[in-house]
Each structure stands twice: as C-alpha cells, then as structure tokens.
Amino acid sequence: MKRILVIHGPNLNLLGKREPEVYGRITLKQINNELRKVAKKNNVTVTIKQSNHEGEIVDLIGKAKKKFSGLLINPAAYTHTSVAIRDAISASQIPTVEVHLSNIYSREEFRQKSLISPVCKGAILGFGIKSYILGLQALIDLLNAK
C-alpha cells in the first residue's frame, strides 16, 4: 500500500477562524477528514502533520524518504521564504505536490513567488479545499503511474 505524507504549514491550524474572506470557513479537521476519504477510496494511507515550525517541517521531510511514497504539502507562509523546506524536498527525491487554498498569484506581491514549486511535480492553488483533494488525487495518480 502506498503511503503519503501530508504536511500543513504555519497557521493552518487556525483555519476557519483566520481571514475567512481569504481562506474560507473550512477547518483543518474538515480538510483532513476529506483527505482521509480520498485516500481510503484510492487504497492509500495518509499520515497528516501540521507544524508552525520550519525546522520541524524540514525534519519531517528528511525522514519521509524511508517511510513514504509521496508528499502533499501546503507550506503556507514558508512558500515564499523557506530555502530549507525547498532543499529538504529536493534532497528527499519524493514526488511532491504543493497545494494552497488561495490563489497566491492574486494576492500581495510578496506572496506571488513560490520557492517550493520548482522542486515539486506540480502545484494546485486557489480552489479552497478542492486544492487539497485535487492535489492528493494528482499525487496518487502520479504514484500509480510508476
């Protein structure tokens, strides 16, 4: 059975309360429940983590190669600033899909650059919870094509 690591970055634990006009009213728990449903339907296992700490995210990715077939990540604010997360993904050589609830290219200028995208197989953004669902399905399809 394929195993996928899902990482939610900083402040995503505040979903449903934080800037609902940008991120909607969906909670992280609701996103995780939907991801588990998609995983079960596709006969894959998901392990879901959330961290507000860059080093912890880097450590999770660094240990992932031995345990996981793929990585689904919403690096949140670290999208625009973290060379460390980018390097960890690159070094892991694990197929990775980046997701975002909002369309980063329609937001503030500083949010319109992803340091993470160039080391990912693809990115899905701007569709709210559907970004996660589409991203997970794309990653599953990618892994099944191997």
In three-state secondary structure terms, 135 is: helix
Residue 87: CATH number of its domain? 3.40.50.9100
Predicted pLDDT of residue 146: 76
- Is residue 94 within 8 A of residue 105, CB to CB? The reply is no
Domain range holding 110?
A: 2-144
- Is residue 8 within 8 A of residue 74, CB to CB? The reply is yes
pLDDT at position 59 over 70: yes
Mean pLDDT along residues 40-47 = 98
Crossing angle of helices 129-144 and 28-41, rounded to 10°: 30
In three-state secondary structure terms, 50 is: strand
Predicted pLDDT of residue 23: 64
pTM for this entry: 0.93
Angle at 71 between CA 68 and CA 76, to 5 degrees: 145
Domain count, the chain: 1
- Tell me: the pLDDT tens digits for 84-135? 999 999 999 999 999 999 888 767 786 778 999 999 999 999 999 999 999 9
Point out which residues pair with 96 in neighbouring strands: 71
Q: Would you name the residues annotated as active-site residues?
A: 23, 100
In three-state secondary structure terms, 72 is: strand
pLDDT category of residue 20 using cuts at 50, 70 and 90:
low
Q: What is the mean pLDDT of the chain?
A: 93
